[in-house]
Amino acid sequence: MSGPTAPAPLPVAVLLSGSGRTLENLLAKIRAGEVPVAVVAVVASRGDVRGIEVARAAGLPCAVIRRRDHPDAGAHNAAVNAWLAPFAPRMIVLAGYLCHYQTPGWLDGPVLNIHPALLPRHGGRGMWGHHVHEAVLAAGERESGCTVHRVSDVYDAGEILGRLRVPVLPGDTPDTLAARVFAAECELYPRIIAEQADLLDHM
């Protein structure tokens, strides 16, 4: 008599605008059995980014849906969500996605984002990538880190689900601080994604 079957991994979609490092890290954690999800679709907001290569190398369905090809943010989001809907993701993970994302009505799970600073400090429109690390250093902060939060209608203002702190060291540059923060992101984001997947599985 066979034992109980393991639950199917939770289907998630990933949205990205850049190198795909966050997607790569998530896929590695999935393969290691640390995150009980399956990436079922990837959307890139630009056609010239490495993240597309990462998705295709992993055999994932991937679409390029550019903001500039649509008259406004609402039309762009409608196109993204129309493409995603047949894949039936239950969670959407923003992985360096630089467009304002609007949650579709059909999604029953969260939309998650990771920000490379300790929100609510150094967040908001235009605060991404090196802009954030430059602001942290200019403010003379003694620590930085990363924050995973639910996506809301306001940039970086949704419910905070987790933070991981890193020190700001003497002599740090935006590049050295970015490397330390990204290492923290690679630990925190998969952990929070796994926690949210477990919650959805028990709903």
Residues catalogued as catalytic: 115
Sequence-ordered list of residues with C-beta below 8 angstroms from that of 144, at least 6 positions apart, any chain: 116, 117, 118, 122, 133, 136, 165, 166, 168, 177, 180, 181
| Short-list 70, 21, 4, CA closest to 182 | 21
Nearest CA among 107, 108, 114, 95 for reference residue 49 = 95
- The DSSP 8-state label assigned to residue 163 in this structure reads E
CA distance linking residue 83 with residue 74, whole number of Å: 14
Contact predicate 30/38, CB 8 Å? yes
C-alpha separations of 113 from 59, 91, 159, 189 in Å: 23, 11, 10, 8
Contact assessment for residue 132 and residue 96, using Cβ atoms and an 8 Å cutoff: no
